[in-house]
């Protein structure tokens, strides 16, 4: 059992009320920990501590801010196996994935922004009349709110640029998967951060989260989570004109052209598409959930894709041979189940999966878990609810198209605009199609490979602003232009 604490002004502490929330291991159904159920008074203490630490922290040289970020990365690296085990237990994701992706990426996030800030120099513009120097001044207290699917990965993706840029931070991890954030908090002092610079508070969204986003000492909010929550945060931030960045949901298309399914291409395309649908049980915001398949390739590609999906091993997240672990909670399992029932009521044909995995098909240790079978559906119109609403589970629909124009129209035909992948052997076509897709990232014959310097984020209902590289550092700073006469 892990009894997590808030981390305020350099000290681990309980909520003022003493109230706590339980944290569940979704693969076993067991209670694995508790967190403080923080209230506005706790948020106020954290925001005040951050506000008091801000002037000192933002005045440090970039190298001085980089040092504790690197040290924190070292400490996570030292204890990576412990972090991965807790991430695995708390989310239900396979242990290998937790270690190889979540924890590895948390370490690189901290290192990347520690290095990036050192290279982030003052810009200078010169013309015949004047010289303009653009200084970036940290905004103040940054609220960093993260979701449950990639807990430490997305928390560090926010706190690292905020701290590097000179902001003081109040972070609120998801109440569903908060435990690696607590482990991080336990190492913040050892990493050498001064008190108050990084505060981590736990609690529910509509209480602790809402109090944080409306707190007068918070200057900016970076949020990753659902679209509806993002909308409510944007309106809560409006009266005080806080700067807001929102990374929200998606309904991402994978567009498969027939030339990506020839005998020499087929396996690579299948590998990539299967990974893009089912990684992390389909609970990655960039997962493909609408698979657009050129009609000429339908008869080859669909049976092969279904066969691959059926071959995925659903099982104990601790077992190295497991591909698909547990969904994050019983509530989420119910949501995914309801979504598939809705799809069937809309006329969907279930090609594989379609239901939770029964206890008798699971190893003893995880029989009470929230496991859902990898599911592929077809026979649905692009405009039906199943093809318009985010499901966020191991479920994708297959949709035929005839030509490029039709593929682009279907791909762009939702309120979302997070990402897409295009699978083709024709690079000219890849360029043509990618420039017409309304989304923040387009992967060509790949998925989720990236350079941390490149911007990432969504258009339309998928978000506001971008994370990554300079985009992230600039979000946390106010540019101030100082002009000298020539
Ligand atoms: P969520 O919106 O329910 O919660 C996200 C966070 O916001 C949690 O920490 C929660 O406690 C907090 N919160 C909830 N209500 C709040 C409020 N009123 N004020 C302040 N904070 C509040 O999302 P979730 O269910 O944890 O995550 C799944 C969603 O996140 C999916 O829609 C997924 O697409 C999205 N997501 C997007 C990205 C991206 O980069 N675009 C990445 C990962 C997840």
- Average confidence (pLDDT) per 10 residues, the chain, 486 residues: 98 96 98 98 98 98 97 98 98 98 98 93 92 96 98 98 98 98 98 98 98 97 97 95 97 98 97 98 98 98 98 98 98 98 98 97 97 98 98 98 98 98 98 98 97 97 96 96 95
> For residue 303, what are the contacts with CB-CB under 8 A and spacing of at least 6?
none
CATH homologous superfamily of domain 252-444?
Aldehyde Dehydrogenase; Chain A, domain 2 (3.40.309.10)
- pLDDT at position 486: 86
Order of strands, edge to edge, in the sheet holding 463-464?
Answer: 11-13, 6-8, 198-200, 168-172, 141-145, 218-224, 243-247, 463-464
Q: To which residue do tokens 């020499």 refer? A: 264
Token pair, residue 447, equals 């998925």
Alpha-carbon dihedral angle through residues 141, 195, 198, 171, given to the nearest 10 degrees: -80
Domain with CATH 3.40.605.10 in the chain: 2-248+460-485
Domain with CATH 3.40.309.10 in the chain: 252-444
173/150 Cα distance (integer angstroms)? 10
Q: Which CATH class is domain 2-248+460-485?
A: alpha beta
Separation of CA 230 and ligand 1 centre (Å) = 7
Asked about 285 being catalytic, the answer comes back as yes
How many Å separate Cα 392 from the centre of its chain? 12
Q: Which of 167, 285, 287, 439 is catalytic?
A: 285
Q: Which of 175, 247, 390, 467 is catalytic?
A: 247
List beta partners, residue 483: 132
Separation of CA 145 and ligand 1 centre (Å) = 8
User: Is residue 213 within 6 Å of ligand 1 at its C-beta?
Assistant: yes
User: Is residue 147 within 6 Å of ligand 1 at its C-beta?
Assistant: yes
User: Is residue 229 within 6 Å of ligand 1 at its C-beta?
Assistant: yes
User: Is residue 465 within 6 Å of ligand 1 at its C-beta?
Assistant: no
Of all protein residues, the one whose alpha carbon is nearest to atom 35 of ligand 1 is 225
Which ligand 1 atom sits nearest the alpha carbon of residue 249? 34
Asked about 467 being catalytic, the answer comes back as no
Which ligand 1 atom sits nearest the alpha carbon of residue 210? 19
C-alpha pair distances (Å), 464 with each of 182, 215, 220: 28, 21, 13
How many Å separate Cα 272 from the centre of its chain? 20
Of 211, 225, 472, best ligand 1 pocket probe by most atoms within 8 Å of the beta carbon: 225
Separation of CA 174 and ligand 1 centre (Å) = 8
Helix (H, G, I), strand (E, B) or coil at 257: coil
Which ligand 1 atom sits nearest the alpha carbon of residue 174? 9
> For residue 423, what are the contacts with CB-CB under 8 A and spacing of at least 6?
254, 255, 256, 257, 260, 269, 272, 273, 445
Separation of CA 69 and ligand 1 centre (Å) = 25
Name the DSSP class of 355.
Answer: S
- pLDDT at position 122: 83
């Amino acid at each position: 059992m892990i009894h997590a604490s808030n981390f305020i002004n350099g000290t681990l502490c309980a909520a003022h009320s003493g109230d706590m929330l339980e944290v569940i291991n979704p693969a076993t159904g067991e209670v694995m920990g508790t967190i403080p159920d923080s209230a506005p008074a706790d948020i106020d203490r954290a925001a005040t501590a951050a506000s008091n630490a801000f002037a000192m922290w933002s005045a440090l040289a970039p190298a001085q801010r980089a040092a504790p970020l690197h040290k924190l990365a070292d400490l996570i690296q030292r204890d990576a196996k412990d972090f991965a085990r807790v991430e695995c237990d708390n989310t239900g994701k396979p242990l290998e994935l937790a270690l190889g992706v979540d924890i590895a990426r948390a370490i690189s996030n901290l290192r990347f922004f520690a290095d990036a800030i050192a290279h982030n120099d003052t810009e200078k513009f010169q013309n015949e009349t004047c010289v303009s120097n653009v200084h970036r001044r940290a905004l103040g207290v940054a609220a960093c709110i993260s979701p449950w699917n990639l807990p430490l990965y997305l928390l560090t993706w926010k706190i690292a640029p905020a701290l590097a840029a000179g902001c003081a931070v109040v972070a609120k991890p998801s109440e569903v998967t908060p435990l690696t954030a607590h482990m991080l908090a336990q190492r913040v002092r050892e990493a050498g951060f001064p008190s108050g610079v990084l505060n981590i508070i736990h609690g529910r969204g509509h209480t602790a989260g809402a109090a944080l986003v409306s707190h007068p000492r918070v200057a900016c909010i970076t949020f990753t989570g659902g679209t509806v929550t993002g909308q409510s945060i944007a309106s809560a931030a409006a009266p005080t004109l806080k700067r807001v960045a929102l990374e929200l949901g998606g309904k991402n298309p994978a567009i498969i052209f027939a030339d990506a399914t020839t005998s020499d291409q087929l396996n690579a395309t299948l590998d990539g598409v299967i990974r893009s649908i089912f990684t992390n049980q389909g609970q990655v915001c960039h997962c493909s959930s609408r698979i657009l398949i050129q009609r000429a390739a339908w008869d080859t590609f669909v049976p092969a894709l279904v066969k691959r999906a059926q071959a995925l091993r659903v099982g104990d997240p601790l077992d190295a041979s497991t591909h698909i672990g547990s969904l994050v909670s019983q509530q989420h399992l119910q949501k995914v189940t309801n979504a598939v029932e809705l799809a069937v009521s809309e006329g969907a044909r279930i090609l594989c999966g379609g239901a939770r995995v029964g206890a008798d098909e699971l190893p003893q240790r995880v029989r009470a878990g929230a496991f859902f079978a990898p599911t592929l559906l077809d026979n649905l119109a692009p405009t039906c609810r199943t093809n318009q609403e985010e499901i966020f589970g191991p479920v994708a629909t297959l949709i035929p198209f005839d030509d490029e124009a039709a593929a682009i129209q279907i791909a762009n035909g939702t309120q979302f605009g997070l990402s897409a992948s295009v699978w083709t052997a024709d690079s000219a076509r890849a360029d043509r199609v990618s420039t017409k897709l309304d989304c923040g990232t387009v992967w060509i014959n790949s998925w989720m490979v990236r350079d941390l310097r490149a911007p990432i984020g969504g258009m339309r209902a998928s978000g506001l602003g971008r994370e990554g590289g300079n985009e992230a550092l600039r979000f946390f700073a106010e540019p101030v232009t100082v002009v000298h006469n020539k």
